[in-house]
Structure 1
Amino acid sequence: MFETLKPSPPDKIIELLEMFRADPRTEKLDLGVGVYKDANGKTPVMRAVKAAEKRLLDTQDSKSYVGILGDLEFVKLLGELALGSSVPADRIAGAQTPGGTGAIRQILELIKRSNPAATVWYSDPTWPNHPAMLAHLGIPSRTYRYFDAATGGVDFAAMMADLVAMKPGDVLLLHGCCHNPTGANLTLEQWAEVTDFVVKAGVVPFIDLAYQGFGDGLEADAAGVRHMAAAVPEMLLAVSCSKNFGLYRDRVGAAIAISETAEKSAITKANLASLSRLNFSFPPDHGAKVVALILSDPALKADWQAELESMRAGMLELRKGLANELRRATNSDRFDFVGTHRGMFSRLGLSPEQVVKLREDFGIYAVGDSRINIAGLPAQGLGKLAAAIASVES
């Protein structure tokens, strides 16, 4: 049987990580892998997570299965974090999933089950796993223009011009905040315009919300999503706790669907349960229970919010610092967009050849499209990094 298998193309980011690990140079810098890092280059366990885990260890009295939809209190609290009070609770159905990736997969399968003819439209560029999963599931897909490489911002006019070709029932995949890989986000006014389009065109929005709290703050990062949720009859939402709770390896996420009525929501909920049973039966409990404990306890939630805000502010300072150093190193303002982007990533606009030169000459590892992880920047080495970028860019 296995002799018929063909080699799978390597994941470029995993391949980059392996190259970094094999590099013998002591002065090397990993800006590729998308995990948050503190000033010491470590991915810490958040204080509130530690406290909640201790409480869980002391009080949990069973390791029996959770429900087929997972911890419904977790799903409810995470949905409120993302949606606020924008949608009546009886129109919301949700399922706990193994990470945000698991949520996206469940939602894509729900789309395929409910409307096999639907085309999913995603931004060019987007997170590489979006098109990969769409292709694997055989779901029709198309791209819309999004990023203006010349300005480092959103090419909103081009985006809206492309979306005109969407048909009723098609699905519009949007990044809720902190666009990956570009770091360029829609403004609230643009969210409103996209919402008007979605309603008039009869298309279904699908929001990938992986970085809430990493951009402009928990509330601001969800403002566009909430505006849209309040206006549309249906919406799909994949939520991840990997970044804002630091629970990468625990795989914590939720697939949430907003239906037009409570009756339709009950049917959607049953289908989410069916998909969970087919794909993994019961989701893992530990990380979701930790998040539920944090969000339901005022003291833990306040400490989590404070640490998350500190992380966000630190990344913003690194952005501004790198933008200033690049201005000095290049004697131009062409990299100022780095300071205006939000979230963990920015795309520098370097060519693949320049990215290779950064790696070979300076030991600086970035993804081939020149996406860098802002959280991986060295606070004390921004000038040196800017000089290296200027060297390969000139």
Structure 2
Amino acid sequence: MIVTANSLAPDPVWELTRRYAADPRPSRLDLTLGVYRDDSLRAPVMDAVHAAERILLARRESKQYRGPSGHPDFTARMSTLLLGEELAERAIGVQTVAGTGALRLLAEFLAHFEPGRRVILGAPSYVNHAPVLRAAGLEIHSVPFVDESGLPWLEPTIDALRSARPGDAVLLQGNCHNPTGASLTSAMWDGLTDEIVRAGVVPFLDQAYYGLGDGLEEDLAGMRRLLARVPEAVISVSCSKAFSLYSERVGCALLLLDPSGAAGAMHTLEGIARTAYSQPPHHGAAIVATILQDEELEHSWRGELDRMRTRVASLRNGLVTGALSAGAPEAFAALRDQRGLFLSLPLSPTAMHRLQREFGVYGLPSGRINLAGVPGVAVDALSAALAEVAAEDAARGALVRAVA
């Protein structure tokens, strides 16, 4: 038999999405997937993307093979955008099948040179981090990332760094932490950087939500200061969120390393890509490259991205303020300090199930909801629902910390 009893369990996020689709209630809310939606709950195509597609259509470019490294100008321009010109001079990279493809490619790259290499990973983290790292043959050293109030808690990571072996890796999300929304301060980034340099470990940076926290340059500042002080690093990049290109599957894997090892590293990246998917899809990368090649289009894109960020921040403040006004416990006040698409609620799985059952609000059992899936007209009703289920949690002594 091809299929045995050892089948994999369904992905919990997509399982909830399917359940939402089968729910007949017109007022139901899908707050599961990390997709930016406008106030009419559409996942809009950005104006800059539309303009870039018109340019590409007029060019009538060939659909020929591009090779395992994908679109070189896309990768070079993304490297400059994220790292800055000086750091980008030390970087090489390849286009990948979105951010998850970059994670897997870089994980296999690290495992290729040191099978079983240990990666320090803060918990909770993006639901796919641990499965991808393990599937690539890496060993995970899990440490807590946040304290009971929902703030970043770096002591466990620092302790792990101090006991790490040179060549181990530490995975850090660049900003807008998924799922907690916890944001590292400048001092925290600098303190972590000191320990990483001292330990000689490899920083593994995951950049998926740049521009959706405090602004594009602000969101990248901590990572750039870290990379300026280390001899080598790996960076996985997604264009799904910042360019709203979810189904185009656009990303890249970047390496910061000594130039003497660049050729061998590039051959290795291309070899891993060749055996996984041969080469990445071209269209989405061509869209991003076209935007970043054109000063006017890039200016338009930056403005749209900032408006997305502002709307999400406004929704966060409105929901938290509304829930507190409706009687939610004071633990909700800490949610104002979170950043990015997600709000990590201090609710039990029982409360999250009640939200789904009674109010048609679909979020993860961990308490994570996607703010951008909330239309403005639903803020008051959702705030009241959150306060109601939170009060029940508090009465049962089941209210959890301000993060999942």
Report the TM-score when normalising by structure 2.
0.94
- In the alignment, is the contact (CA less than 8 A) between 1:322 and 1:338 conserved in 2? no
Q: How far did 1:291 drift?
A: 0.3
Does residue 45 of the first structure (1) align with residue 45 of the second (2)? yes
Q: Match of 1:128? A: 127
Q: Match of 1:8? A: 8
- In the alignment, is the contact (CA less than 8 A) between 2:92 and 2:255 conserved in 1? yes
Does residue 75 of the first structure (1) align with residue 75 of the second (2)? yes
Letter in 1 for 2:112: R
Q: Match of 2:185? A: 187
Q: Tell me, what secondary structure is at the counterpart of 2:358?
A: helix
Deviation digits for residues 311-369 of structure 1 (CA, Å, limit 9, x no counterpart)? 11111111111111122112653212222211111211211111111111111111010
- 1:283 & 1:99 partners in 2: Cα distance? 9
The one of 372, 376, 381 equivalent to 2:369 is 372
The one of 182, 199, 206 equivalent to 1:201 is 199
Distance 1:162 1:145, change over 3 A: farther
Q: How far did 1:277 drift?
A: 1.2
- In the alignment, is the contact (CA less than 8 A) between 1:345 and 1:373 conserved in 2? yes
- In the alignment, is the contact (CA less than 8 A) between 2:171 and 2:205 conserved in 1? yes
- 1:159 & 1:263 partners in 2: Cα distance? 31
Q: How far did 1:5 drift?
A: 6.0
Distance 1:362 1:203, change over 3 A: same
The one of 309, 312, 322 equivalent to 1:312 is 309
The one of 277, 290, 294 equivalent to 1:293 is 290
Deviation digits for residues 153-200 of structure 1 (CA, Å, limit 9, x no counterpart)? 112234323433322111100000110001011111111111111110
- 1:323 & 1:86 partners in 2: Cα distance? 40
Q: Match of 1:59? A: 59
- 1:166 & 1:183 partners in 2: Cα distance? 27
Query: How many aligned positions are there?
Result: 391
Q: Tell me, what secondary structure is at the counterpart of 1:246?
A: coil
- In the alignment, is the contact (CA less than 8 A) between 1:198 and 1:205 conserved in 2? yes
Deviation digits for residues 61-108 of structure 1 (CA, Å, limit 9, x no counterpart)? 31101132111110000011110134251x311000010010001000
Q: Tell me, what secondary structure is at the counterpart of 1:147?
A: coil
- 2:288 & 2:78 partners in 1: Cα distance? 8
Equivalent runs, 1:216-255 vs 2, <5 Å: 216-255=214-253
RMSD across aligned C-alpha pairs, in angstroms?
A: 1.4
Q: Tell me, what secondary structure is at the counterpart of 2:331?
A: coil
- In the alignment, is the contact (CA less than 8 A) between 2:171 and 2:203 conserved in 1? yes
- In the alignment, is the contact (CA less than 8 A) between 1:86 and 1:227 conserved in 2? no
Report the TM-score when normalising by structure 1.
0.96
Deviation digits for residues 126-157 of structure 1 (CA, Å, limit 9, x no counterpart)? 01111111222332111111122x31211223
Q: Match of 2:100? A: 101
Q: Match of 1:352? A: 349
Q: Tell me, what secondary structure is at the counterpart of 1:75?
A: helix
Letter in 1 for 2:267: A
Q: Match of 1:142? A: 141
- 1:234 & 1:256 partners in 2: Cα distance? 11
Does residue 211 of the first structure (1) align with residue 173 of the second (2)? no
The percent identity for this pair of structures is 40
- 2:243 & 2:151 partners in 1: Cα distance? 28
Q: How far did 1:270 drift?
A: 1.5
- In the alignment, is the contact (CA less than 8 A) between 1:37 and 1:376 conserved in 2? yes
Q: Match of 2:327? A: 330
Q: Tell me, what secondary structure is at the counterpart of 1:200?
A: helix
Q: List alignment gaps of at least 5 residues for structure 1.
A: none
